[in-house]
Homo-oligomer: A and B are copies of this chain.
Amino acid sequence: MALIVKKFGGSSVANAQRVFNVARIITEDYRAGNEVIVVVSAQGDTTDDLIEKAREINPDGPSKREMDMLLSAGEQISISLLAMAIEKLGFPVVSLLGWQAGFQTDSNYSAARIKRLQTDRLTSELAKKNIIIVAGFQGLNKYDDITTLGRGGSDTSAVAIAAAVKADLCQIYTDVDGVYTADPRKVKTAHKMDEITYDEMLELATLGAQVLNNRSVEMAKKYNVELEVLSSLERKPGTIVKEVVKMEKMLIRGVAKDANVARISIVGLPDSPGIAFKVFSKLGQKKINVDIILQSVGRDGTKDITFTVPEDQAKDAMEVMEEVKALYNCEKVVCDEDVAKVSIVGTGMETHPGVAATMFEALYNAGVNIEMISTSEIKISVLIDKDKADKAVEAVHNAFIQ
């Protein structure tokens, strides 16, 4: 007798057969006496097909308002089809668009933020004993225009609903059965975790684990929504994400690899006050995400700065740095894309000082050279050769997790 929010991605509803698979998962929980609200994304390739249609009309990129109008049709199709499947199975159901479900957003088309969720309609449909199917990823701004929430928006929609209706659980269905200590395709001893904290999940999501969208985890933490990451293909418990988890023996919750990294170095910057600020504010203006930063003293009163950016932003970053080089008459700018970041995450490391040493020793024994280091309370990241990343993940995983 719980109130459960379930979210299914586009591949889970890509065709009629998968739609029925999802419909059965939903109706089983409903038949067991639960109230069920479902958030669903656009079917399989629908979004890509719509983007292609828009590109045919205007290759330079149409206005974001019209793009949101176009793309939000995708979920409108998937919610009605899923509702039809549930009708066919003989259960009461109603589909709701983002605005019908009460999503009020700001006017930042294509990447809107939820400002408020007006739950009247959701509450009244639950009172009518309806299963509710909500279009993820979309809302309405104060001008009564349709907006979309941007990447991973359906996860955010689900968590927002769970928070607003005070759901007992928010289940995020994916094609994996939970969160693993490392990529199970690469590390044999990797195993699924029963539980993980929001902070650990956030670090893992940022690091490229790609199970859950970051914004949705942040929102779940803020409103204390218990999440479960689980498989839509197998019926078994997944990984629960919550504030406090049972302390297992593990110091480390997971090991992640991020290969989408490039390292950029500028050599011979004048050693004048505020120079680093000037460089990084130029990168910030171009919306380039700088991650690890290393600053060192160079020759003749100059200094060198090395930093990492996502590999797909490396070209933009290099353009900025070439300007900087010309402006300050620096010696050179170098970009290296053959690097990867390997990180360990775990709230346990806060109280155990030897963790970094164990990690570095494991890498040393595996013959992996560390080029840069970055740490937070619950995370240690190292930058290494891209070629050695998988080997490094395995070595570190084995050092901490059996």
Render A137-167 as a binary contact track against B, CB cut-off 8 A, 1 for contact.
0000000111000000000000000000000
Which of B73, B80, B81 contacts A76 (CB under 8 A)?
B73
- Complex formed: what's the CA distance from A100 to B79 in Å? 20
Is A81's CB under 8 angstroms from B95's CB?
no
Nearest-CB residue, chain B, relative to A67: B80
Residue of B nearest to A83 (CB): B66
A97 to chain B: which residues have CB within 8 Å? 69, 146
Does A56 have its Cβ within 8 Å of any Cβ on chain B? yes
How would residues 9 to 50 of chain A score, 1 for a CB under 8 Å from any chain B CB and 0 otherwise? 000000010011000000000000000000000000000001
A84-B57 contact, Cβ under 8 Å, with A50-B77, A95-B66, A144-B121: yes
**Is A72 in the interface zone, CB < 8 Å from B?**
yes
Q: A56-B16, A57-B19, A121-B144 are in contact. Are A62 and B84 (CB under 8 A)?
A: yes
Pairs A-B, 7 closest by C-beta atoms: A70-B80, A62-B84, A69-B80, A73-B76, A16-B56, A73-B73, A58-B88
Contact B73 A77 (CB under 8 A): yes
A85 interfacial by beta-carbon distance below 8 Å = yes
- Say whether B62 contacts A88, CB under 8 Å: yes
Q: Cβ of A376 < 8 Å from any Cβ of B?
A: no
Copy tally for this chain in the complex stands at: 2
Complex contact A54–B84 (CB within 8 A)? yes
Q: By the criterion of a CB under 8 Å from any partner CB, how many residues of chain A are at the interface? A: 38
A365 at interface by CB-CB < 8 Å: no
- Closest B residue to A60 by beta carbon equals B88
A334–B88 Cα gap in the complex (Å)?
39
Contacts of A60 in B (CB 8 A): 88
The verdict on A63 contacting B84 (CB below 8 Å), with A57-B19, A95-B69, A144-B100 known, is: yes
Residues of B contacting A62 with CB < 8 Å? 80, 83-84, 87-88
A286 interface residue (CB < 8 Å to B): no
Is A315 in contact with chain B by the CB < 8 A criterion? no
Q: Residue of B at shortest CB range from A15?
A: B56
Query: Is A115 interfacial (CB-CB < 8 Å)?
Result: no
Cβ of A332 under 8 Å from chain B:
no
Cβ of A222 under 8 Å from chain B: no
A53 contacts the other chain (Cβ, under 8 Å)?
Answer: yes
Most B CB atoms within 10 A — which of A57, A62, A67, A85?
A: A57
In the bound complex, CA of A92 to CA of B77 (Å): 29
**Closest residue of B by beta carbon distance from A62:** B84
Q: Which of A20, A63, A80 has the most CB of B within 10 A?
A: A80
Docked complex Cα distance between A82 and B256 (Å) = 45
In the assembled complex, which residues on chain B have CB atoms less than 8 Å from the CB atom of A57? 16, 19-20, 81, 84-85, 88
What CA separation (Å) do A84 and B146 show in the bound complex? 15
> For A72, A76, A146, which residue has the most chain B Cβ atoms within 10 angstroms?
A76
Interface positions of A from 76 to 115, Cβ below 8 Å from B: 76-77, 79-81, 83-85, 87-88, 94-95, 97, 100
